[in-house]
A and B are shown apart, each in its own frame.
Chain A
């Protein structure tokens, strides 16, 4: 019976639960789903991480390639994030060229990366204007169940922390390079960012870490990204309007979450 009720009147079904300050998956309104992080399990990549937030599962792999720096920025390497939403993760997505949502997500992740300044691209340069590292960070969603930005950001930062690059010797006179695969060194990551998504239900109720069902029913989402003491991203793409007090509340929740996640990351 409950099943039919849920399919036919999904909004009402949710409202009934939320009236009692509980969500259908037994969470409190401000509760987060469990987060699992697994690093370095993909041996073919130079660094990898798998993140699970509830059912949302995201894999991030970083592959390093040697390339030539751009003439405008001869002393910098590249870090290119790319988010892929294959049909596998949800029936919403179809195969073929990247969907708009995947492209937007890629841009959001790239923005977060740039805003947080967690990685100095000059450390990726091997020899100015000649060779540099290009890191391709491929983020693939395996299961889509809401709060994707959170999962992707977490996967990327965990992955960056475990990436190791082989040592390269370069002779500019001969234009020859020698890669020493045995000797690998990690990157210098200056900060850790954590993204937190909220859904706004019926213009007033705030659900943290929404599932994909909740995202669909809600009238807007807000994503806050915190990095150490500071904020590096506040993304609210339309939807229900918010006032200041609500925003303040979000930010404080985010900082709390950051500390929890940091402890989590610190364990590996």
Chain B
């Protein structure tokens, strides 16, 4: 990780997303969380490999590529984590005997890689127009040595005692996935969970009221009619968003 000589941005301007940057995939998203940047691209449903055929649903393949070095066991873990989340959230039973390829590329790491990758994956799914049961959003929460919780990765890495990554769904704001690092107490976990949700939501909302979470769905950039939707896809989902401010902030 790079030294941080630059001043830390405030919470509000931390999230940014750009959709449809790549011409080849069916959906792609560049997600920026603070100084962490992840690119996700989705192909799907596509031809399935023989050994991965599932007769009743689509199989999901998640490929995570680090920026430097060979993919290691840690990256396998990230792959399986994101794959599980996508399996929960995508309507996989609509595409039997096919594969949905979720590709994640690390672009810049500043401490929130996993949550940023999950958010990027969600946005790429959205961009591709594949059917989803719900959307998901992820928040990283850092536990400092002094017991403080923060959503921003601290400048000094040695002051981190633990880190939590939560993944919420947009329907009820419940936890669909969780991952932790370091030692912590049950109370701290609860505080982080609650705080993560509140602070995460607050960040999304502020973002939403100021300058909306930028997602321009660029129809013009698309090659041919391979994608069913762009704008119309958002409509059927709208009624159920109501109680998750994150969603509102994300898309309006």
Is A108's beta carbon under 8 Å from chain B?
yes
Could you tell me which residues of chain A, from 189 to 245, have a CB within 8 Å of some CB in chain B? 220, 222, 227, 229-244
Residues of B within 8 A of A (CB): 73-74, 76-77, 79-81, 84-89, 162, 164, 167, 169, 172, 174-186, 189-190, 193-194
Known: A230-B183, A239-B88. A248 touches B190 (CB 8 A): yes
Alpha-carbon gap, A252 to B189, bound state (A): 13
Alpha-carbon gap, A248 to B172, bound state (A): 18
Partner of A111, one of B85, B169, B181, B189: B181
Alpha-carbon gap, A156 to B178, bound state (A): 23
Q: Which 6 A-B pairs have the closest CB atoms?
A: A241-B174, A238-B84, A107-B77, A237-B84, A238-B88, A103-B76
Alpha-carbon gap, A229 to B185, bound state (A): 7
- A236 adjacent to B182 (CB under 8 Å): no
Chain A neighbourhood of B179, CB < 8 A: 234-236
Alpha-carbon gap, A100 to B162, bound state (A): 26
Number of interface residues of A (CB under 8 A): 37
- A243 adjacent to B73 (CB under 8 Å): no
Is A260's beta carbon under 8 Å from chain B?
no
- B189 adjacent to A251 (CB under 8 Å): yes
Is A110's beta carbon under 8 Å from chain B?
yes
Is A116's beta carbon under 8 Å from chain B?
yes
Is A104's beta carbon under 8 Å from chain B?
yes
Q: A238-B85, A238-B89 are known contacts; what are 16 more A-B pairs with Cβ within 8 Å?
A: A100-B80, A103-B77, A104-B73, A108-B77, A115-B182, A220-B88, A236-B176, A237-B84, A237-B85, A237-B177, A238-B81, A238-B176, A239-B88, A241-B176, A242-B174, A247-B190
Nearest-Cβ distance from residue B161 to partner chain A, whole angstroms: 10
- B177 adjacent to A238 (CB under 8 Å): yes
Is A117's beta carbon under 8 Å from chain B?
yes
- B182 adjacent to A232 (CB under 8 Å): yes
Nearest-Cβ distance from residue B223 to partner chain A, whole angstroms: 32
Partner of B81, one of A101, A114, A237: A237
Alpha-carbon gap, A235 to B81, bound state (A): 10
- A106 adjacent to B73 (CB under 8 Å): yes
Known: A237-B84, A244-B194. A110 touches B189 (CB 8 A): no
Nearest-Cβ distance from residue B62 to partner chain A, whole angstroms: 10
Chain B neighbourhood of A106, CB < 8 A: 73
User: What are 10 A-B contacts with C-beta separation under 8 Å?
Assistant: A100-B79, A108-B77, A227-B183, A230-B185, A234-B164, A236-B175, A236-B177, A240-B88, A241-B175, A244-B194
**Contact string against B for A residues 131-150, beta-carbon threshold 8 Å, 1 for contact and 0 otherwise:** 00000000000000000000
- A238 adjacent to B87 (CB under 8 Å): yes
Alpha-carbon gap, A252 to B187, bound state (A): 11
- A234 adjacent to B73 (CB under 8 Å): no
Alpha-carbon gap, A243 to B175, bound state (A): 7
- B183 adjacent to A236 (CB under 8 Å): no
Interface centre among A235, A241, A242 (most CB of B within 10 A): A241
- A117 adjacent to B183 (CB under 8 Å): yes
In the complex formed, the residue of B with least CB distance to A222 is: B178
Chain B neighbourhood of A239, CB < 8 A: 84, 88, 176-177
